Structure 1
């Protein structure tokens, strides 16, 4: 079952004196890129969160946001009284030197100085943290489920486009006899324009025609293309999502189509190959988003 790398997951953990809002977002990426925005008191737990997220989601650009909504009795900052007094005294002295009357507005200015209001660091309650981690896991699994649902839609789209390529390929054999006849006639005409037909060794001509037609034979390419299409469907139906492997197979399909196009020498066959390439490009675009 394939999975998309795009998704969203959310969960809210209710604690006695606050609630924790947890949100996950993910988009496609070649590797596991983890970005977290969490309260400072939980920062030391980030490696634990990262390990859990990578185990569940494996790959993609993952953004985690944890927001704490505290009760009224809780304060997330505290005043550094020593710093407040020091700054206030310094501003009073400076004001007197400049002939400015100190006033109460100075206090609000001092409170904006970074070292006056400092975050209130609390020890992590391990029981509380266990609940938060359960909430993180629930939100992460919600994102994973979102990815699976997206993957079902992409799976259907891939299957349809692979079948379209196969149907276009099945139309080629009906055109090959006319292609061979056309190429043979063209070869003989070009040769006759250069050399008098009476001077041509018919046996040698037949040998050269056979050699030339073998060079333009597309049987092997058609066989390999069919094998690649079958393998793509096989990997598509596996239990694990394998976007990278599907991408490699799509590259092999593209190589066979390019070879078919260069050997075709027949307008109708080339038109079919163009349609097959169009279906393949649409597959490749979506494969960038597959886990």
Structure 2
């Protein structure tokens, strides 16, 4: 089984050197590829790389990627502004001398001047951040792929069952069609003879025309093409890659043949078969909307 569902969820976490990323990926069915990425501004420079990575893993579907980034304080540096501190000390000593204040200038007093200590953000190397983030992405997309494969297996099994039922119905139509063609020829011959009483007929020409008209009512070509489409559908499901669009095209062709059979087959048994075929084909068409 190769097909994958477009619906799934995966989470991946990875961290080292006090840097950690958590990635959540959610996918749902969509006609084309549509990527939405939410990540902290501090690492927003990596968004394009995340998008390229996701595009290499997802062939079709709406993809929402949520990225959380923690640095555990490793991306900050505390610096003392020595010049400003010296200015504060000089100013405090001047106050002491001017107003004859005996109190000492201590560390507790100086730390009240918050601007002498500066907390600066240290930017990490983008390549290093990407290496760690990519490891989290790989885990998330691996979990997503496993879930999509499990759902794809369920779809695969169910569609295969429906295709088997469709082939059984086509066999029934074929069996009925062979007898119906001969019955149609006999009825048509009787009707023409009835309408042409007293008029001499060329029996050979007459039978040729009857056979031609009966052949036009045959649905053999349609059932042959329908079987061919079913076979192609099954081969496509067993192939690798993004197959949802091709399956959708084939199911439309199958439906086209069934509509033609319905327009030719006037017998109630065949009409009932056509109704059942259209019902099963519609069920499959709805399911393949969720195949990648």
Place the TM-score, normalised by the shorter chain, in its bin: 0.7 to 0.9
Query: What is the alpha-carbon distance in structure 2 between the residues aligned to residue 276 and residue 5 of structure 1?
Result: 26
Quick check: 1:2–1:290 contact (8 Å CA) kept in 2? yes
Quick check: 1:9–1:143 contact (8 Å CA) kept in 2? yes
Matching residue of 1:167? 168
Matching residue of 2:56? 55
Alignment partner of 1:198: what SS? coil
Question: Within 5 Å, which residues of 2 pair with 1:129-140?
Answer: 129-140=130-141
What CA deviation, in whole Å up to 9, does each residue of 1:136-180 have, x standing for no partner? 121022112211111111111111111111010111233224423
Distance change (3 Å), C-alpha of 1:36 and 1:196: same
Query: What is the alpha-carbon distance in structure 2 between the residues aligned to residue 13 and residue 202 of structure 1?
Result: 89
Quick check: 1:57–1:144 contact (8 Å CA) kept in 2? no
Alignment partner of 1:169: what SS? helix
Moved more, 42-51 or 232-241: 232-241
* Post-superposition offset of 1:187: 3.3
Alignment partner of 1:281: what SS? helix
Number of aligned residue pairs: give it: 246
Distance change (3 Å), C-alpha of 1:150 and 1:122: farther
* Post-superposition offset of 1:257: 0.8
Question: Within 5 Å, which residues of 2 pair with 1:1-291?
Answer: 1-15=2-16, 17=18, 19-68=20-69, 123-126=123-126, 127-184=128-185, 186-188=187-189, 191=192, 195-199=195-199, 201=201, 203=203, 204-291=205-292
Moved more, 28-37 or 200-209: 200-209
Larger Rg: 2
Query: What is the alpha-carbon distance in structure 2 between the residues aligned to residue 58 and residue 26 of structure 1?
Result: 11
What CA deviation, in whole Å up to 9, does each residue of 1:93-126 have, x standing for no partner? xxxxxxxxxxxxxxxxxxxxxxxxxxx9752344
Query: What is the alpha-carbon distance in structure 2 between the residues aligned to residue 138 and residue 215 of structure 1?
Result: 60
Quick check: 1:8–1:24 contact (8 Å CA) kept in 2? yes
* Post-superposition offset of 1:24: 0.4
Distance change (3 Å), C-alpha of 1:198 and 1:166: same
Alignment partner of 1:199: what SS? coil
Quick check: 1:38–1:67 contact (8 Å CA) kept in 2? yes
Query: What is the alpha-carbon distance in structure 2 between the residues aligned to residue 123 and residue 74 of structure 1?
Result: 6
Query: What is the alpha-carbon distance in structure 2 between the residues aligned to residue 258 and residue 159 of structure 1?
Result: 22
Distance change (3 Å), C-alpha of 1:121 and 1:53: farther
Pairwise CA RMSD? 2.5
